[in-house]
Amino acid sequence: MEKTSDVIWQDTQHQVLFELLDQVAEEGSAVEILGRLKYYAENHFALEEEYMLQLDYPGRDAHVRAHDRFREELAEISMDASTHDAVARQIISTFLREWLTRHIFTIDKELEAFLLASDAH
Ligand SMILES: [Fe+2]
Ligand SMILES: [Fe+2]
């Protein structure tokens, strides 16, 4: 049964990363995963950032900086993914696991609590 205490759009969008973590085990998937990640980052981060702006979220600057670091690291990984699939998939896997711990389970959770309290979700 679905929990009712989540911000649904945020939770649903975060699920994409778990799918990509599964997919990264497939040989030759690095380029496609990086494409999906880029699309994910553009859309998902834009939505979180829009909510933070509209609601004048106190942790906004640090949160946006964290998103920007993700964007930068993603661009770096993307550079030679097509020639080094295995290496790129290893890096993506580590990168996504760290992101889950450092961001989704921590500062995104704080934002989620704020959105739920604000009734704006
Ligand atoms: Fe975030
Ligand atoms: Fe997020």
- Scored b (16 or more CB within 10 A) or e, 29-39 reads bbeebbebbee
Using pLDDT thresholds of 50, 70 and 90, give the confidence band for residue 2: very low
pLDDT, one tens digit per residue, over 39-56 is 999 999 999 999 999 999
Q: In the CATH scheme, what is the code of domain 14-118?
A: 1.20.120
Pick the ligand that lies closest to the CA of residue 100: 2
Q: Taking ligand 1, which is a single-atom ion, which protein residues have CB atoms under 5 Å away? A: 48, 108
Residue 69 to residue 54: CA distance in whole angstroms: 22
pLDDT, one tens digit per residue, over 49-96 is 999 999 999 999 999 999 999 999 999 999 878 889 999 999 999 999
Q: 79 CA to middle of ligand 1, Å?
A: 24
- Contact in structure between 104 and 44 (CB atoms under 8 Å): no
Q: 90 CA to middle of ligand 1, Å?
A: 23
Using pLDDT thresholds of 50, 70 and 90, give the confidence band for residue 6: confident
Residue 67 to residue 52: CA distance in whole angstroms: 13
Q: 112 CA to middle of ligand 2, Å?
A: 9
